[in-house]
Structure 1
Amino acid sequence: MPHPRDREILRLAGPAFLALVAEPLFLLADAAIVGRLGTAPLAGLGIAAAVLQTAIGLCVFLAYGTTAQVARRLGAADLRGAMTQGVDGLWLAVAIGTVVTILGVAFTDPLVATFGADARVAEPAATYLRIAFLGTVPLLLMLAATGVLRGLQDTRTPLLVAVGGNALNIVANVVLVYGLGPIPALGIAGSAWGSVLAQVVSAAVLVGVVARAARREGASLLPDLAGVRASGRAAVPLVVRTVTLRAALLVTTYAVAAGAGSPGTEALHLATHQLALTLWTFLAFALDAIAIAAQALTGRTLGAGDASGTRALVRRMLRWGVVSGVVTGLLLAAGSPFLGSLFTPDADVQSLLVPVLVVAALGQPIAGLVFVLDGVLIGAGDGAYLARAGLLTLIVYAPLVLAAAALGAGLVAIWVLFVVIFMGSRLAVLRHRELRDDWLVTGAATYGARPRAAG
């Protein structure tokens, strides 16, 4: 017999998963369209995408933090306060996005130069990146508005906007890259303008939905400086958490290169590692969808003052995390002998990828638990602990994986360390926190936040 919570979890996690999957499809469409222009523009797109994904990825707190704050107010039956905090998040997105846009446009050439690409690749990369930075504000508004809607227990609207935005992006890219009728072919610049157009339209729709909800509850749409500053302060720990996660991935990639030995082996190991990491990231979307449900539901139940209900919810979410991890692990293990051929004709890469994917598959149940616990503590507003836990995990993991690389550890051994030490350490510190009661702070204010009157 289904658990009473299951339907609610699926209602939030299902659309969230589909919206998350839409993002890489967005990037794949851009790559397919630009790829027909030649190898150099495609390589330039790769450089630009790496810079943009890093900049936007560090701002994911706009979605996570806003979800927790709004969900708590919703649980406390303070819809006006929920929308007020949601509007504060939107204005914070505008402020951060404006700064990132100005700095990004000003420093486009130096950013591209750090990749060491030759002029044939650097020129299209700079062209794309300079235009794409103009879409930073709408992109961050999309993150913040998505966080508001998730906090309101609505993951369906962000999904619909993601699908519509991706469709618009594909059409705009094709028309602007290759030209149509009186519209000239703009090449890679057209791809950037097409993406910016899709981002502006998507942001306008999401912000419009949030603004209508705010007006309906009598919340002001004007910026409240104290509220925006409070949202900014609450975001700092989540930024630290995100930086530690990205640093761990960078250290792992460095270790793969350093531990490979000969230059020929280095290319083999890095190519295989990239494919394995891509598949790991894709499977993470399924697990992250459960984490998004955990954020929204944890915030709501704590806001309602229901600590025992929150405990029961967490137990159920952890079961979902384990089951999801086992399912994705079994799928990855079963597909490991065949997945390599979908990405590369290189027999050596295909052969080496199999044991790496088996290791990654064995780590999926751990990842399932980690993602859920991370979502629970984000939903509880326990960002300060997540920041400390992230730093501790990185301090433990980085020296060990670098030492292994120095001793000539191969790719499979490094992935074992990634799963056992990095993911295992994350599970240990998150589970330790969850078993305690420090994070079970009930009421409208998130953990460590100062309550603020709505309006």
Structure 2
Amino acid sequence: MLVTPLRRLLSLAVPALGVLAAEPLYLLVDTAVVGHLGAVPLAGLSVAGIVLAQVSTQMTFLSYGTTARVARLHGAGRRADAVAEGVQATWLAVSVGLVLVVAGQLLARPIAELLSGSQEVADAAVSWLRIALLGVPFILITMAGNGWMRGVQDTVRPLRYVLAGNGLSALLCPILVYVADWGLEGSAIANVVAQVISASLFVRALIVERVPLRPHYAKMRAQLGLGRDLVVRSLAFQACFISATTVAAHTSTAAVGAHQVVLQLWTFLALVLDSLAIAAQSLVGEALGKEDERAAHKVAWQVTGYGLVFGCLLGVAFAALSTVLPRVFTPDAQVLAEIPNAWWFFVALQPICGVVFALDGVLLGAGDAAFMRNATLLAAIVGFLPFIWLSMAFDWGLSGIWTGLAAFMVIRLVAVLLRTRSGRWAVVGAVR
């Protein structure tokens, strides 16, 4: 019988936390560096950053879907087959990444102009985005690498690989922006450097596993089958967060700058909380691969309790930092005046996020992607999007935008709790 004490959960979660935190932490550094260039570059980074984030997060199945498939095979004692899933996920990453680079270069200008509130902000966004898009294939390779390594319960090497890239780039960013005087473009170049270094290390890890490296199209199709539901789920997230940034950008330059600061902190804490979910995903997949349904349920409720506790602690910590932390990211008085309109929503939602993100990991580990797709679509259509567009129509500003986010999270909370309690997600076997 699979045993999942707190020590084992944390042995996977703590390194996963480092991996999850590395990218948004780097983006927070990037935001702080660019924020001192002024409100327009910060707004440009906000618009371009949300576009790049949505391009990459649309492909989250390369990470989460791969973990679900690999963990079941690992639990069934089929390590070579498990690693082979990582090879095929990497081929998918390269193929899709190259297509996205070409499409992104063609569409960067019209998308930036659509999302920006002024031509000046659009110009700044395009200058950053055209360079940063070159890193997309490497971002996707890193996702695939994280996916298969988490599935075989190796979360230490991914931490080293991601820190190697992002650590160097965090040092490089202020040098390129200020010393080399490349401004916003220097930030984008540093971003690409991080992705190239990390992806190269993940590719090397696959090579040393000595598994066949040729493409296997049947396995790729199987991965895309699971990926389909996760892509639709990601589209719902994209519609929400792109809409939020668009409405903020059309409210004022200060509003979109403030939204960028709080949204980056939100993303950072979401991934902090998600570290437990990553551990749960691996352990749930392993338990179901071993046909141990009882252990899978035990992991589910353990991680729910831990997520709630961590979410409460984060909420208290960031409430205490409300007057100090925003000034790290920008000295602009107008941006600072807008931040409280989003800040207190961000703080109050942390306990809910702790539970939702933890159970997301459980259901992803079980491969329950169809339910997650439907729940996310419902939350977006009923909760988030109506408030976003009403905020634009009635000039509710950031308060309206973040009320929509709160509704989105509450609906998702109810959905995942009911699904977990039902037990219908716990389908045993090496593949689902």
Letter in 1 for 2:226: A
User: Among 235, 247, 265, which residue is 2:227 paired with?
Assistant: 235
Deviation at 1:435, TM superposition (A): 1.5
376-385 vs 430-439, greater mean Cα deviation: 430-439
Please give the residue correspondences for 1:361-440 in structure 2 after superposition, counting only pairs within 5 Å. Answer: 361-398=347-384, 401=387, 405=391, 412=399, 415-416=402-403, 418-419=405-406, 421-440=407-426
- The DSSP-based 3-state class of the residue aligned with 1:139 is helix
Following the alignment from structure 1 to structure 2, what is the Cα–Cα distance between the partners of residues 45 and 65?
29
Q: Do the aligned partners of 2:73 and 2:79 also contact (CA within 8 Å) in 1?
A: yes
Letter in 1 for 2:204: G
Correspondence 1:72 to 2:72: yes
Following the alignment from structure 1 to structure 2, what is the Cα–Cα distance between the partners of residues 104 and 409?
32
Correspondence 1:295 to 2:270: no
* Equivalent residue, structure 1, for 2:204: 208
Q: Do the aligned partners of 1:35 and 1:41 also contact (CA within 8 Å) in 2?
A: yes
Between Structure 1 and Structure 2, how many residues are aligned? Answer: 429
Cα RMSD, aligned residues only = 3.4
* Equivalent residue, structure 1, for 2:310: 324
Deviation at 1:106, TM superposition (A): 3.3
Deviation at 1:284, TM superposition (A): 1.6
* Equivalent residue, structure 2, for 1:131: 131
Following the alignment from structure 2 to structure 1, what is the Cα–Cα distance between the partners of residues 248 and 272?
26
Deviations 1:228-259 (A, max 9, x none): 1221221111111122123233455667789x
Structure 1, unpaired ranges of 5+: 447-455
Deviation at 1:109, TM superposition (A): 3.5
Deviation at 1:198, TM superposition (A): 3.3
Q: Do the aligned partners of 1:131 and 1:192 also contact (CA within 8 Å) in 2?
A: yes
Q: Do the aligned partners of 1:138 and 1:203 also contact (CA within 8 Å) in 2?
A: yes
Q: Do the aligned partners of 1:146 and 1:158 also contact (CA within 8 Å) in 2?
A: yes
TM-score, normalised with respect to structure 1: 0.82
Following the alignment from structure 2 to structure 1, what is the Cα–Cα distance between the partners of residues 193 and 62?
21
Deviation at 1:227, TM superposition (A): 1.0
Following the alignment from structure 1 to structure 2, what is the Cα–Cα distance between the partners of residues 34 and 359?
25
Following the alignment from structure 1 to structure 2, what is the Cα–Cα distance between the partners of residues 125 and 274?
13
Q: Do the aligned partners of 1:148 and 1:210 also contact (CA within 8 Å) in 2?
A: no
Q: Do the aligned partners of 2:79 and 2:152 also contact (CA within 8 Å) in 1?
A: no
Following the alignment from structure 1 to structure 2, what is the Cα–Cα distance between the partners of residues 400 and 114?
20
Please give the residue correspondences for 1:72-221 in structure 2 after superposition, counting only pairs within 5 Å. Answer: 72-115=72-115, 125-170=125-170, 173=173, 191-213=187-209, 215=210, 219-221=211-213
User: Taking structure 1 as reference, are residues 277 and 187 closer, same or farther at Cα in structure 2, changes over 3 Å only?
Assistant: closer
Deviation at 1:426, TM superposition (A): 0.3
Following the alignment from structure 1 to structure 2, what is the Cα–Cα distance between the partners of residues 352 and 118?
18
User: Among 287, 296, 302, which residue is 1:310 paired with?
Assistant: 296
Deviation at 1:116, TM superposition (A): 5.1
- The DSSP-based 3-state class of the residue aligned with 2:63 is helix
Following the alignment from structure 1 to structure 2, what is the Cα–Cα distance between the partners of residues 119 and 393?
33
Following the alignment from structure 2 to structure 1, what is the Cα–Cα distance between the partners of residues 318 and 352?
14
Q: Do the aligned partners of 1:153 and 1:296 also contact (CA within 8 Å) in 2?
A: yes
Following the alignment from structure 1 to structure 2, what is the Cα–Cα distance between the partners of residues 400 and 128?
31
Structure 2, unpaired ranges of 5+: none
Following the alignment from structure 1 to structure 2, what is the Cα–Cα distance between the partners of residues 399 and 49?
20
Please give the residue correspondences for 1:23-62 in structure 2 after superposition, counting only pairs within 5 Å. Answer: 23-30=23-30, 44-62=44-62
Letter in 1 for 2:197: V
Deviations 1:398-452 (A, max 9, x none): 4652586456767556645532x32111011111211223211111113xxxxxx
Q: Percent identity?
A: 39
Letter in 2 for 1:205: L
Letter in 1 for 2:136: T
- The DSSP-based 3-state class of the residue aligned with 2:59 is coil
Q: Do the aligned partners of 1:127 and 1:189 also contact (CA within 8 Å) in 2?
A: yes
TM-score, normalised with respect to structure 2: 0.86
Please give the residue correspondences for 1:327-346 in structure 2 after superposition, counting only pairs within 5 Å. Answer: 327-343=313-329
Deviation at 1:173, TM superposition (A): 4.9
Q: Do the aligned partners of 2:60 and 2:143 also contact (CA within 8 Å) in 1?
A: yes
Deviation at 1:117, TM superposition (A): 7.5
Deviation at 1:36, TM superposition (A): 7.7
Q: Do the aligned partners of 1:172 and 1:195 also contact (CA within 8 Å) in 2?
A: no
Deviation at 1:385, TM superposition (A): 1.1
Q: Do the aligned partners of 1:68 and 1:151 also contact (CA within 8 Å) in 2?
A: yes
Q: Do the aligned partners of 1:286 and 1:324 also contact (CA within 8 Å) in 2?
A: no
* Equivalent residue, structure 2, for 1:441: 427
Following the alignment from structure 1 to structure 2, what is the Cα–Cα distance between the partners of residues 146 and 63?
6
Following the alignment from structure 2 to structure 1, what is the Cα–Cα distance between the partners of residues 249 and 173?
35
* Equivalent residue, structure 1, for 2:215: 223
Deviation at 1:205, TM superposition (A): 0.7
- The DSSP-based 3-state class of the residue aligned with 2:51 is helix
Deviation at 1:277, TM superposition (A): 3.3
User: Taking structure 1 as reference, are residues 426 and 71 closer, same or farther at Cα in structure 2, changes over 3 Å only?
Assistant: same
Letter in 2 for 1:164: A
Deviation at 1:49, TM superposition (A): 2.8
Deviation at 1:75, TM superposition (A): 0.6
Deviation at 1:392, TM superposition (A): 1.5
Q: Do the aligned partners of 1:177 and 1:190 also contact (CA within 8 Å) in 2?
A: yes
Q: Do the aligned partners of 1:332 and 1:358 also contact (CA within 8 Å) in 2?
A: no
- The DSSP-based 3-state class of the residue aligned with 1:94 is helix
